[in-house]
Amino acid sequence: MTLDKEKIVNLNLHNEKDRILDFSDFQKQTIQFDIDKLQDAYNQIIKIKKFDDGGGVTNFGAISLTQIPGDPESIKGSKARGVYWTKPDKSGKEVSRDVDIDEEKYNEFIRDYENTYFKEVYDVLSAKYKLGRVRILLKEPRSTLSWHRDPEPRLHIPIITNPGCLMVIDNVAMHMPADGSVWVTNNTKYHNAFNGGEENRIHLVACVLDYKFN
Ligand SMILES: [Fe+2]
């Protein structure tokens, strides 16, 4: 076979500037939690609560730790997921999906989980950041989200993960280890997350309303 050099795309992989990836959309925070206690708390809550499928989203599950005060409906179905924008087809045209969420109202920690380590985590986080919904999110094995953007940055605390779990923001991918560390990710840019492993990925994910990326 002869190659038609005209048809070869020059990826310019040897240009040093192009090899430097910018990870500034993944910001590791200075706070640290106890990963054993996080995993224990997770095991406690899954004994008493089932994951909400966000209104029928495949390979996805959410358990909300906060709600609108006195309103258990505020964390069910679509509200376990919330509004996002995606580019679903070849036109590349952006469309919005799901329902608007009034994040600021989600300031009641759900009583059922008050005796778990998540309450301590919530108290520390909410003293430092202005939080919206705080959820435990499940990403099932060998699954992905859509290519989408969210209204605000998200704080992540990985609880159970594996090396095949990556979040991709724009064209940069990062694995966040489950070691008690806390990350804020720039979900206002197009992103995705996939779990290429064979076990569930579990993250605590909070909407952060007062975090600015440059
Ligand atoms: Fe997202």
Task: Count, in order, helices (H) and strands (E) of the chain.
Answer: 3, 15
Distance from Cα 109 to the centre of ligand 1, integer Å: 22
Distance from Cα 191 to the centre of ligand 1, integer Å: 6
* Residues in Cβ contact with 184 at an 8 Å cutoff, skipping those fewer than 6 apart: 27, 29, 153, 154, 155, 156, 208, 211
In percent, how much of the chain has pLDDT > 70?
91
Q: Would you give per-residue pLDDT tens digits along the chain (214 residues)? A: 555 666 666 666 666 666 688 999 999 999 999 999 999 999 999 999 999 998 888 899 999 999 999 999 999 988 888 999 999 999 999 999 988 999 999 999 999 999 999 999 999 999 999 999 999 999 999 999 999 999 999 999 999 999 999 999 999 999 999 999 999 999 999 999 999 999 999 999 999 999 999 7
Q: In angstroms, what is the C-alpha Rg of the chain?
A: 19
Distance from Cα 119 to the centre of ligand 1, integer Å: 24
Q: What is the pLDDT of residue 20?
A: 80
Distance from Cα 153 to the centre of ligand 1, integer Å: 9
Distance from Cα 16 to the centre of ligand 1, integer Å: 31
Distance from Cα 102 to the centre of ligand 1, integer Å: 16
**Domains observed in the chain:** 22-84+102-208 (2.60.120.330)
Distance from Cα 151 to the centre of ligand 1, integer Å: 9
**Residue 135 pairs with which residues in a beta bridge?**
64, 205
Distance from Cα 176 to the centre of ligand 1, integer Å: 15
Distance from Cα 204 to the centre of ligand 1, integer Å: 13
| pTM of structure | 0.91
Using a CB cutoff of 5 Å, list residues around ligand 1, an ion: 150, 187
Chain length of the chain: 214
Helix residue ranges, H only, the chain = 16-19, 35-48, 117-128
The C-alpha angle with vertex 171 and arms to 170 and 177, in degrees rounded to 5, equals: 90
Measure Cα distances from 97 to 67, 122, 133, 148, 199 in Å: 21, 28, 18, 10, 28
Distance from Cα 25 to the centre of ligand 1, integer Å: 13
Distance from Cα 19 to the centre of ligand 1, integer Å: 26
Distance from Cα 170 to the centre of ligand 1, integer Å: 12
Cβ pair 77, 99 in contact under 8 A: no
